[in-house]
């Protein structure tokens, strides 16, 4: 299996006042092409820190974070941004849609940032997440579930090798949460993207190929 993400001995410390918080302590693991892995563990165990490092929005203090061949720990800023835009799609707990852009424009954004346009691809994804009829609407006019389905389409539109989802159902009622999860799973299978999903909900983890269990900044089990 091709590794699309590899973490080797990754540590990340934060300062909280004059206290050092060890968010990650020597984490190593491999995400292979096309697989779905759930990262589980209690609040504060380091799930978001792990995803943020792979997303290239944070850097480790030690170790390597290799995403599709680029070590984000050592990459220059331009190389980091290019790697993120090309290889990574992100779904956040609180959707993070651009409020002044329509559904269709939000989904097209990752392509636009890469200097590309592909209206056919955008429309295809909108159809597959069931939002074709809402494409001219603004995020504020959508339900939470519809906003997250928009975010799922946006995360996949540029065919990233890695999709990161940080508590993607955390702001949704259970019915729309289940629908969003099913959709993410279906789309990543069709698209062949790997999905790394952080959650403290053990039932969500049941859908994954593997479960990485974290505690106090360390991986304590891989099941």
Ligand X SMILES: Nc1ncnc2c1ncn2[C@@H]1O[C@H](COP(=O)(O)OP(=O)(O)O)[C@@H](O)[C@H]1O
Q: Which residues bind Mg ion (CB under 5 A)?
A: 47-48
CA distance 39 to 152: 18
Q: Whose Cβ is closer to Mg ion: residue 92's or residue 103's?
A: 92
Q: Among Mg ion, ligand X, none, what does residue 33 contact (CB within 5–8 Å per kind)?
A: none
Q: Which listed range, 46-54, 104-112, 133-141, 202-210, lies at the site for ligand X (CB under 6 A)? A: 46-54
Determine, following the binding rule CB under 6 A, whether residue 16 of this chain makes contact with ligand X. Answer: yes
Beta strands in the chain (DSSP E): 3-16, 19-32, 36-40, 62-67, 70-71, 88-91, 162-166, 194-199, 210-215, 218-222
Q: With CB under 6 A as the contact rule, which of the stretches 45-53, 73-81, 98-106, 173-181 interacts with ligand X?
A: 45-53
Q: Would you count residue 110 as binding ligand X (CB under 6 A)?
A: no
Answer yes or no whether residue 47 interacts with ligand X by CB under 6 A. yes
Q: Using the rule CB under 6 A, is 205 a contact of ligand X?
A: no
* Stretch touching ligand X by CB under 6 A, among 15-23, 60-68, 148-156, 170-178: 15-23
Strand order in the sheet with 62-67: 19-32, 3-16, 62-67, 70-71
Nearer to Mg ion, 10 or 129 (CB): 10
Please identify which residue in 4, 7, 10, 23 interacts with ligand X, judged by CB under 6 A: 23
Q: Give the length of the chain.
A: 223
Residue with tokens 């993070």: 96
User: By the 8 A CB rule, do 103 and 127 touch?
Assistant: no
**Shortest distance (Å) from residue 172 CB to ligand X:** 18
Q: Which residue has the tokens 């403290």?
A: 200
């Amino acid at each position: 299996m091709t590794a699309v993400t590899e973490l080797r001995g990754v540590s990340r410390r934060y300062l909280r006042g004059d206290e050092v918080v060890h968010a990650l302590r020597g984490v190593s693991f491999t995400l292979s092409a096309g697989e779905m892995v759930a990262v589980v563990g209690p609040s504060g165990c380091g799930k978001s820190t792990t995803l943020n490092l792979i997303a290239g929005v944070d850097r480790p203090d030690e170790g390597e974070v290799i995403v599709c061949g680029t070590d984000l720990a050592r990459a220059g800023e331009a190389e980091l941004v290019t790697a993120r835009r090309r290889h990574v799609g992100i779904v956040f707990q609180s959707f993070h849609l651009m409020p002044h852009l329509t559904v269709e424009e939000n989904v097209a954004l990752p392509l636009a940032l890469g200097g590309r346009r592909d209206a056919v691809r955008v429309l295809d994804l909108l159809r597959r997440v069931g939002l074709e009829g809402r494409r001219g609407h603004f995020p504020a006019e959508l339900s939470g579930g519809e906003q997250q389905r928009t975010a799922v389409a946006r995360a996949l539109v540029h065919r990233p090798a890695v999709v990161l989802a940080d508590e993607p159902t955390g702001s949704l009622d259970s019915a729309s949460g289940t629908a969003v999860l099913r959709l993410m799973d279906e789309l990543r299978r069709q698209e062949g993207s790997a999905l790394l999903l952080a959650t403290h909900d053990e039932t969500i983890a049941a859908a994954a190929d593997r479960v990485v269990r974290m505690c106090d900044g360390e991986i304590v089990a891989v099941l």
